[in-house]
Amino acid sequence: METIKRHIRVDRREIVYLRYTIESYDGMAVVRTIDPREAVLEIQGAPGCEGIIDALLDDLKYKEKIPIQSL
């Protein structure tokens, strides 16, 4: 099974919260920190979960005001 990979940049202070929130959805995705200084993260999602991941990132960005930038 091949994972879907997305790269994003966030505020460094939000890395732990974002990782915890995304990984709390069992089996949906894993978050890996690519560059801790630049706060670049890689989200490796299970196939078929792209819509859920997008919806979660949108909610975090717009409802919780976390600055998430797609790369």
Domain boundaries, the chain: 4-70
* pLDDT confidence band for 1 (50 / 70 / 90): low
The tokens of 4 are what?
């879907």
Per residue in 33-53, pLDDT tens?
999 999 999 999 999 999 999
Q: What is the pLDDT of residue 3?
A: 86
Report whether pLDDT(61) > 80.
yes
Q: What is the Cβ-side half-sphere exposure of residue 62, based on CA atoms within 13 angstroms? A: 6
Helix H or strand E encompassing 67? none
Per residue in 4-24, pLDDT tens?
999 999 999 999 999 999 999
Is the sign of the CA dihedral 18, 23, 25, 28 positive or negative? Answer: positive
4-70 adopts what CATH topology?
A: Ribosomal Protein S8; Chain: A, domain 1 (3.30.1370)
